[in-house]
Structures are given as structure tokens and as C-alpha cells.
Amino acid sequence: MLASIVLGTVVGIGCGAVSGLVPGIHANTVAGVLLSLQALLLAWFDPVFIASAMFSTLVTHTFLDNVPGTFLGIPDADTSLAVLPAHALCLEGRGEEAVRISALGSAAGVAFSLPLGLAFVLFLPALQPAIDWGIGLVILAVAGYLIVVSESPGWALAVFAVSGLLGLFSLGYSFLAWPTGGESGVLMPLLSGLFGIAVLLHASHGAMPEQRFSGIALPAGALRRGSLLGSAAGALVGWLPGLSSATANALLTSVVGYDSNPREYILATSAANTVNAFLGLAAFYAIARTRSGVMAAIGALEELPPATAILLAGALAAIGAYLLTIRLSSMAAWFSGVNTTLLNHAVIVFVALLSLFLCGPFGVLVLLLATAVGYVPTLVNVRRVYCMGAIMVPVMVYSFGLA
């Protein structure tokens, strides 16, 4: 069994590197491909290998998905808000620092996942009915708080509501999209428009400053606080149904400002992203609920491997992914002196073509609408976090049984 775990982990790290570094490809997509090849793979390997590869892909993805966001400004579905401070640091010549902070946050998330997962498995299954009922209220309370403390509550509410309607429209009519991107493929143009293209259109022009790394400017107190807050948020969305790392990003803005504390926010969101993966595994084995496409794919295997085997694969993948992320952080030097105007235009064209490829004309429509909505916060001077209504409103509607 150990050989299957190690080999599956190596394959998963390779697959996770591809899904994390290539915008538009998610670990869920890779898991679906592996599941479709199950009959072929079982002729050579056992289910432990396949499950280890699937979960290792997910864990590796959580380490690397902030890299394209940092250097190119293209958000992943799980790192939408985290892209803003990470790309801003890159524009200050600190791209490598941003990636290293992200890797550190994910590593901290792995450390906190084990005790959190054990505590949740022991105590939460009995409380699950009450927890399911209260999800929407938690999201509503957080959204209300963010709006009330806004510089302009009226505009904040308007942006939140309009982006929420756009999220309901995009997800409700996702059947109009091409199946290339999978069931959640429409999230790519939705979040790329709100947090990617809308930002790039307003971004500064000129040459990218020289990228230098002189250490991580993150005090010990911020490191501890960001790790704890991010792990708590990741545990919350990892266990509760209907929530995602994008929701954790929004929850964290109520206690850690991505504009006032960018480094701590990157750390916290990265920790949340990785904890979400591990707690999703705990929820799957404890209460038989799938929190991601990867967990659904593991559940569809002919034979369900023991949780300890998959957990070991995830831990090994985290070590490999951390080292790989640190190595890739040196890519920052490649962007020194690059014309940011041309780079931004190239990224916009790439995202538009990717949206067309993944979702067809419907994806392009969603991208255009999302870009228009995402540009409003810049015009009315409110924080872009209120665009997270695109994720939070559908979650509330689902929780309250309205859809």
C-alpha cells in the first residue's frame, strides 16, 4: 500500500502543478479525468493509487494556484480576493515574497488541519442538522457587517446585490455553457471578470519594477494570527455544505483587510484554501458528504481506500508542493522590466479566449457582465470585496432553500 501512496502522490503533485499553474484548469477537472480512466488504471494499480493521486492533486493545487494570480493577475476560483494584494506586491517588485507568503500560509494550514479535522470528526456530526440550517445566517451576518462598516454603505449594498444577481444568473443558467469547463466552469469567467480583467483595465502602466526578494516582511504576531484565522475560516467552509475557499476569502476580510494588511491576508487565505481541502476529506469520511469534485470522484471509486492512506498522501504532497512553490517563486525575476500594458492586454485576451473555450458564448457573456460589475467599485470608491456577492448570495439562496 505504501508504494501505491507514494506513486500516487508523485503523480498528483505533477497533475496539481499543471492545474495550479494553468488558469482555467481545476483539481476537480483532473480528478474527473482520473475517474474516467479508472477501468484502465485499475488494470495496473489499486484504488489507493488513484485516490492518492486525486487528493494529492487537490493539495498541490492549493499551494500553486496563487502563482498565476500573483504574476499575471488572473484569479483562480479559490483565490479571487487574494489576487488583489498578491498582484499589488508584484507591481511593487515583491512578487517572490507574495508567493513565498502564500506557500507559508498553505504549510501552516496543513499543520492546523490535523487537529481541526480530528476535533470536527469527533464532535460535529451530531450537530450537523443545526449547522446546515445556520449557514445562510452566518453568511448573511458577515455580508451585513461588511456593508455596514463600508465607506459608502449604499454603494457597497448595490455592488453586493448586483454581483449577487449576476452570480445567481451565471450559476442558474450554467447549462447554457459548453461542458468543456465542467459543472463549475462558469466560475472562471465570473470571477475573472470581477477580480481579474476589471482590475487589469484600471492597472498602472509602464514597466514592471525589478523583482527582488529581501525576506518576508511579516511580523511573528501577524504570522500566528493569519495562520489561525485562515485555518478557522478554511475549516468552516471545508465542513459546511455549499461553501468554498472563495467564501472564506470574503469571511476573512471582516477581520483582516486585504488592502491594509496584504501580507497577512495572503497568508490567511492560503491557509484557508489548504485547510478547506483537508477538512473536505474529513467531512467525506465522517458524514459521507462531498465538498468538492475531488471528494465526489474519490467516492465514485469501485473501492473506497482507508482515510489514513489518503491523508498520508496529502501530507506528502504538501511537502513536495511547498518545495515546488518556493522554487517557482524565483519566476518573479522573469517579469522585471516587462511592459505591464502589453502584459495586461495579453492576459485580457487570454482570459477571453479561455472563457470562450471553456464555456462558449455564454462564458464570454458572463465575462463581459462580470467585468462591467467589477469596474464599479473603482468608480464609486468602495472595496472590491463586495463583488463577492456573486458567491455569497447563491450560497445564502441555497441554504435558505429558495433554489
- For 215-251, the pLDDT digits (tens) are 888 888 889 999 999 998 888 877 776 666 777 777 7
pLDDT at residue 206 is higher than 80: no
Read off the pLDDT of each residue in 125-148 and give the average, rounded to a whole number.
76
Binning pLDDT at 50, 70 and 90, where does residue 381 land? confident
What is the residue type of 54? M
Q: State the DSSP string of 329-351.
A: GGGGGGGTT-BHHHHHHHHHHHH
Average pLDDT for residues 346-352, to the nearest whole number?
A: 85
pLDDT of 106 > 90? The answer is: yes
Q: Which residue has the cell 481541502?
A: 277
Which tops the pLDDT comparison, 284 or 206? 284
Confidence of residue 369 (pLDDT cuts 50, 70, 90): very high
What local confidence, expressed as pLDDT, does residue 403 receive? 64
> Cα dihedral sign for 390, 392, 397, 403?
positive
What residues are paired with 339 via a beta bridge?
207
For the residues 385-395, what does the mean pLDDT come to?
84
Distance CA(52)–CA(58), nearest Å, equals 10
What share of the chain has pLDDT > 90, as a percent? 28
pLDDT of residue 132: 66
Confidence class for position 319, pLDDT limits 50, 70, 90: very high
Instruction: Give the per-residue pLDDT at 291.
Output: 67
Alpha-carbon span 86 to 196, nearest angstrom: 12
- In this predicted structure, what is the pLDDT of residue 77? 65
Contacts of 111 by beta carbon, 8 Å cutoff, 6+ apart: none
> Is the pTM higher than 0.75?
yes
User: Whole-angstrom distance between the N-terminal and C-terminal Cα of the chain?
Assistant: 43
Mean pLDDT of 70-93: 78
CA-nearest of 101, 116, 29 to 67 is 101
Query: What is the spatial distance between Cα 199 and Cα 293, in angstroms, rounded to a whole number?
Result: 29
**Which residues have CB under 8 Å from 394's CB, separation 6+?**
164, 167, 168, 171, 403
Lowest-confidence segment of 171-175, 177-181, 267-271 by average pLDDT: 177-181
Average pLDDT along the chain: 83
Q: Is the pLDDT of residue 184 over 70?
A: no
